[in-house]
C-alpha cells in the first residue's frame, strides 16, 4: 500500500463525516427518512471554477451515482451497514480514479489513481465476501 493511501482514506472518512453532519442539519429528525435523495443531485449545482469539460461532467456523474448507491437500507447492525455503505463509496473512488486515468496528465496523479483502483477493488471484494459469509 502506498504510504499516502491511509492519508487519503482518512481524508475521505473525514469528508464523509462532515457531509453526514451537514446533511443531518437539514433533514427531519431521524435522518434519511424514506431515503429521499432529492436535493442531492449535484449535476445542477454550479461549482466554483467548474466548466463543461468531459472530466467535470464525468466527476459529477460519478459523484451522483456514488451518493445514490450509498443510500442503503440500514439494518441496525453496524458491521453490515458499514460494509453495505462502503462498497459504493469505494466504487466511487474507483470511478473517479478511472476518470483521471482517462483525462488526467500528471504522472504522479495517474500512478496514485492506479493504486487506488487496485486497493479499492481488493477491499470491495473483501467486503462482498464478508457479506456473503454472513448471509447479508
pTM of the model: 0.63
60 within domain boundaries: yes
User: Per residue in 95-133, pLDDT tens?
Assistant: 999 999 999 999 999 999 999 999 999 999 999 999 999
CB atoms within 10 A of CB 70: 18
Per the structure, the complete domain to which residue 128 belongs is given by 54-133
36 within domain boundaries: no
Instruction: List CB contacts of 119: < 8 A, sequence separation 6 or more.
Output: 1, 5
Residues of the chain with pLDDT under 50: 21-22, 25-39
104 within domain boundaries: yes
- pLDDT computed for residue 91 by the predictor: 97
94 within domain boundaries: yes
68 within domain boundaries: yes
- pLDDT computed for residue 51 by the predictor: 75
42 within domain boundaries: no
- CA distances from residue 119 to 8, 28, 71, 91 in whole angstroms, order as listed: 12, 37, 23, 11
126 within domain boundaries: yes
**Number of domains the chain contains:** 1
- CA distances from residue 44 to 18, 38, 49, 71 in whole angstroms, order as listed: 21, 12, 14, 20
71 within domain boundaries: yes
Amino acid at each position: 500500500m502506498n504510504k499516502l493511501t491511509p492519508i487519503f482514506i482518512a481524508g475521505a472518512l473525514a469528508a464523509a463525516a462532515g457531509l453526514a453532519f451537514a446533511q443531518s442539519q437539514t433533514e427531519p429528525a431521524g435522518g434519511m427518512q424514506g431515503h429521499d435523495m432529492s436535493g442531492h443531485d449535484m449535476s445542477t449545482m454550479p461549482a466554483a471554477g467548474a466548466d463543461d469539460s468531459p472530466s467535470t461532467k464525468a466527476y459529477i456523474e460519478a459523484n451522483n451515482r456514488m451518493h445514490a448507491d450509498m443510500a442503503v437500507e440500514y439494518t441496525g447492525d453496524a458491521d453490515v451497514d458499514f460494509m453495505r455503505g462502503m462498497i459504493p463509496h469505494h466504487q466511487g473512488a474507483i470511478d473517479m480514479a478511472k476518470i483521471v486515468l482517462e483525462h488526467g496528465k500528471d504522472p504522479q496523479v495517474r500512478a496514485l489513481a492506479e493504486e487506488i483502483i487496485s486497493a479499492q477493488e481488493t477491499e470491495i471484494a473483501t467486503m462482498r465476501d464478508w457479506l456473503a459469509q454472513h448471509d447479508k
